[in-house]
Copies of this chain bind each other. A is one copy, B any other.
Amino acid sequence: MATTSSATAAALPGAFGPDDVDSLAVETIRFLAADMVEEANSGHPGLPMGAAPMAWTLFSRHLRHDPSRSDWADRDRFVLSAGHGSALLYALLHLFGYDLPMDELRRFRQLGSATPGHPEFGHTDGVETTTGPLGQGLAMAVGLALAERMQAARYPDLTDHHTWALVGDGCLMEGVSHEAASLAGHLGLGRLVVLADDNRITIDGDVELASSDDQLARFAAYGWHVSRVDDGTDLVTIDAALTAAKADPRPSLVAVRTQIGHGAPGVEGTAKAHGSPLGAEVLAAARRRIGWPEERFHVPQVIRDRCAALAAQGAAHRAAWEQRWKEFAAASPGEAGEWQRRHARRLPETPVSIPLGAARATRVASREVLRCASEVLPELVGGSADLAGSTGTDIGATALTRDDFSGTRINFGIREFGMAAVLNGISVHGGFRVYGSTFLVFSDYLRPALRLSALMRQPVVYLLTHDSVAVGEDGPTHQPVEHIESLRLIPNVAVLRPADDAETLEAWRIALERTDGPTVLILSRQSLPPLPATGLRDLAATGARTVHDPENPDVELLATGSEVHLALAAADLLAADGVRARVRSVLWRERLPDVGRRDPGALPSVSIEAGVSQGWRGLADTSVGVETFGVSGPGEQVLTYLGLTPEAVADRIRRS
């Protein structure tokens, strides 16, 4: 793959002639990455040094992007799923002219730098997703590729990009790789190309210590196009493989055999190259081996020139697209406005609303809200991990298929983690709002992806139903106990548990208005009667509202969801004894103004929530909760057994 160059040979390190720009670029990336790690005295040089040739091939021959406009909607996406190789990504972003100056490379892994230890979405120009927790980058890439197809179905003239991911052995061992790759194969996401850095090394040693998978056969079983490049330094073959992958209508896995830490004498090809600086001696030896200049962070001018030329090609692509966009806007101003609204995540004027006042499960009320929201917000897409009917996402919307991506409903299959990670990918793609549903108890399965929703501040809506031991007969494996509280612990997550249909609507409104983090709606399986319609609009600001307000109350009951009705019934019993109990419905506990600083002169208070009460300590003097796993039996009997009846609660309050 000889290339011509305007640079003079004199400007190049000894071993490289003017025709060796590609080799020079690869070495530039390798040494930038190694120097970053060395300077930080922390980080992972192994992957960047081994994967530099394939990454350069991708960035120089295939990736369509405009580094001057990292927000170009129709850019190709590149996800470094093996996020520990961040130095590789930063080197590339710097060379191609993203807003990542050399000073930031020198500040790799330093507090406040644009080059954190793992790539962080929203923090560094050109970084498409936060990665590091293994496997999730691959799954988010599936989401990005799916978003592209969905957008192409809606805006065919404006959408024509690819999604590329670079994964390591670890990504392929993680279970989420199965869920995501299976879904990608099922949906035939042909614009997804995954490069596997097949270095056969993990932290503990050779991959063979723990895995004998035939990864190509495995992905072929998912319906992927697969290929292998035996020499990961052979740019011509890599280029051909990527070209073939792009041309194939199936998603593609290109396994590229590499050597971890390639070029670092004594450590290359071993686990030692993975996660520690090479050390001055090895790094110097690496330089000597190919005659690389001694100065750190060296970038030959010819490489700067080549990258600038490539970036200019990308800018031209973007300009041509902008032109098409202007023509589209001129021809269809309404649709163009809609495009802009969706990409800006602005809500439409039409409010989301449903008729209120019916006794029904909040999961059923949520279904009605979702049905309306899907009409009001055509960009709202999502689905369920095989529980559409139970969780209220069976709203009659058309499911998308491999042949038609215009639908708004996604059949995620029994893949909670994959669902959530794919939703993250769709969300960071832009142009869509997303939701996903499962039983609350299975939020454990998707928790690692919910954490990334929160870290990336993506407004993913999680519909988690069957929200307590009232689930009944399915028993403790299906009865959430610790889950509501555990979700409240994750920063940036809004955890909302509505108590009737009006609060469910309000919770959905909060979720849709939020653009800086995920929202979890905790929804009941069982029917709940409507509460008085007071104070609903305060919920977003104050988190709670009063639903029963006797004069001169003796005690305040703080309850959530279905337990608000339990609190009201207990208050009735107490009233017969002359005890006046105020009842508050707490939709969004973390919004309570008194969280963590209760007035010592406040009313005695009792929290009532069918889950572990740990998080209510300090908010209430007494807590009625469920501190053990549940038990199988009819829901009402289970509640009785666990002390969640009006009588038992009233007794607890009398004794407190």
Q: Residues on A close to B: CB < 8 A?
A: 40, 42-43, 83, 109-113, 116-118, 120, 130-134, 169-170, 173-179, 182-183, 185-186, 202-204, 209-215, 217-218, 220-223, 384, 386-390, 399, 411-415, 417-418, 441-442, 444-445, 447-448, 451-452, 454-455, 472-478, 481-482, 485-486, 488-492, 596, 612-615, 617-619, 623, 627-629, 631-634, 637-638, 641
Q: Please give, as numbers and ranges, the residues of chain B lying within 8 Å of A615 by CB-CB distance.
A: 614-615, 617
CA distance A622 to B614 in the complex (A): 16
**Out of B447, B617, B619, which one reaches A444, CB within 8 Å?**
B447
Given contacts A118-B474, A204-B386, A618-B619, 12 further A-B contacts (CB under 8 A): A42-B634, A111-B637, A116-B475, A133-B477, A173-B386, A174-B179, A178-B178, A203-B388, A210-B413, A210-B415, A489-B612, A618-B618
CA distance A629 to B223 in the complex (A): 38
Q: Please give, as numbers and ranges, the residues of chain B lying within 8 Å of A210 by CB-CB distance.
A: 183, 186, 386, 411-415
Q: Please give, as numbers and ranges, the residues of chain B lying within 8 Å of A454 by CB-CB distance.
A: 629
A-B contact pairs, 27 of them (CB 8 A): A43-B473, A109-B473, A110-B633, A112-B631, A117-B477, A132-B475, A173-B413, A173-B414, A175-B175, A182-B213, A183-B211, A185-B212, A203-B390, A204-B411, A209-B399, A210-B386, A210-B413, A214-B222, A214-B223, A221-B221, A442-B448, A444-B451, A455-B477, A488-B614, A489-B614, A596-B613, A614-B615
Q: Please give, as numbers and ranges, the residues of chain B lying within 8 Å of A203 by CB-CB distance.
A: 386-390
| Closest Cβ neighbor of A182 among chain B residues | B213
Q: Please give, as numbers and ranges, the residues of chain B lying within 8 Å of A633 by CB-CB distance.
A: 109-113
**Out of B182, B632, B634, B638, which one reaches A173, CB within 8 Å?**
B182
Minimum Cβ distance to chain B for residue A360 (Å): 19
**Copies of this subunit:** 2
B175 touches A415 (CB 8 A): yes
Most buried by B among A215, A474, A623, A628: A474
Q: Please give, as numbers and ranges, the residues of chain B lying within 8 Å of A415 by CB-CB distance.
A: 173-175, 210
Q: Please give, as numbers and ranges, the residues of chain B lying within 8 Å of A112 by CB-CB distance.
A: 631, 633
Minimum Cβ distance to chain B for residue A276 (Å): 11
Minimum Cβ distance to chain B for residue A200 (Å): 13
Q: Please give, as numbers and ranges, the residues of chain B lying within 8 Å of A222 by CB-CB distance.
A: 212-214, 218
Pick the 8 closest A-B CB pairs, nearest first. Answer: A175-B175, A617-B618, A111-B633, A210-B413, A116-B632, A178-B178, A132-B477, A217-B221
Minimum Cβ distance to chain B for residue A319 (Å): 35
CA distance A475 to B118 in the complex (A): 7
Q: Please give, as numbers and ranges, the residues of chain B lying within 8 Å of A637 by CB-CB distance.
A: 110-111
**Out of B209, B218, B474, which one reaches A218, CB within 8 Å?**
B218
Minimum Cβ distance to chain B for residue A472 (Å): 7
B632 touches A111 (CB 8 A): yes
Q: Please give, as numbers and ranges, the residues of chain B lying within 8 Å of A109 by CB-CB distance.
A: 473, 475, 632-634
**Out of B117, B175, B491, B631, which one reaches A174, CB within 8 Å?**
B175
B133 touches A442 (CB 8 A): yes
| Closest Cβ neighbor of A169 among chain B residues | B414
A478 touches B117 (CB 8 A): yes
A623 touches B638 (CB 8 A): no
Q: Please give, as numbers and ranges, the residues of chain B lying within 8 Å of A482 by CB-CB distance.
A: 486, 489-491
CA distance A169 to B467 in the complex (A): 25
B170 touches A414 (CB 8 A): yes
Q: Please give, as numbers and ranges, the residues of chain B lying within 8 Å of A452 by CB-CB distance.
A: 477
| Closest Cβ neighbor of A217 among chain B residues | B221
Q: Please give, as numbers and ranges, the residues of chain B lying within 8 Å of A175 by CB-CB distance.
A: 174-179, 415, 417-418
Q: Please give, as numbers and ranges, the residues of chain B lying within 8 Å of A389 by CB-CB distance.
A: 203-204
Q: Please give, as numbers and ranges, the residues of chain B lying within 8 Å of A111 by CB-CB distance.
A: 631-634, 637-638, 641
Q: Please give, as numbers and ranges, the residues of chain B lying within 8 Å of A183 by CB-CB distance.
A: 210-211
CA distance A133 to B444 in the complex (A): 10
Q: Please give, as numbers and ranges, the residues of chain B lying within 8 Å of A218 by CB-CB distance.
A: 218, 221-222
B212 touches A186 (CB 8 A): yes
Q: Please give, as numbers and ranges, the residues of chain B lying within 8 Å of A133 by CB-CB distance.
A: 441-442, 445, 477
CA distance A5 to B111 in the complex (A): 79
Given contacts A217-B221, A614-B488, A627-B491, contact A40 B473 (CB under 8 A): yes
Most buried by B among A220, A411, A641: A411
B42 touches A473 (CB 8 A): yes
CA distance A628 to B490 in the complex (A): 8
Q: Please give, as numbers and ranges, the residues of chain B lying within 8 Å of A490 by CB-CB distance.
A: 482
CA distance A503 to B6 in the complex (A): 66
CA distance A489 to B113 in the complex (A): 35
Q: Please give, as numbers and ranges, the residues of chain B lying within 8 Å of A628 by CB-CB distance.
A: 491
Most buried by B among A113, A186, A399, A473: A473
| Closest Cβ neighbor of A115 among chain B residues | B632
Minimum Cβ distance to chain B for residue A86 (Å): 9
Q: Please give, as numbers and ranges, the residues of chain B lying within 8 Å of A176 by CB-CB distance.
A: 175
**Out of B131, B177, B209, which one reaches A411, CB within 8 Å?**
B209
Given contacts A217-B217, A388-B204, contact A455 B476 (CB under 8 A): yes
Q: Please give, as numbers and ranges, the residues of chain B lying within 8 Å of A110 by CB-CB distance.
A: 632-634, 637
Q: Please give, as numbers and ranges, the residues of chain B lying within 8 Å of A492 by CB-CB distance.
A: 629
A386 touches B629 (CB 8 A): no
CA distance A40 to B133 in the complex (A): 43
B170 touches A386 (CB 8 A): yes
B478 touches A485 (CB 8 A): no
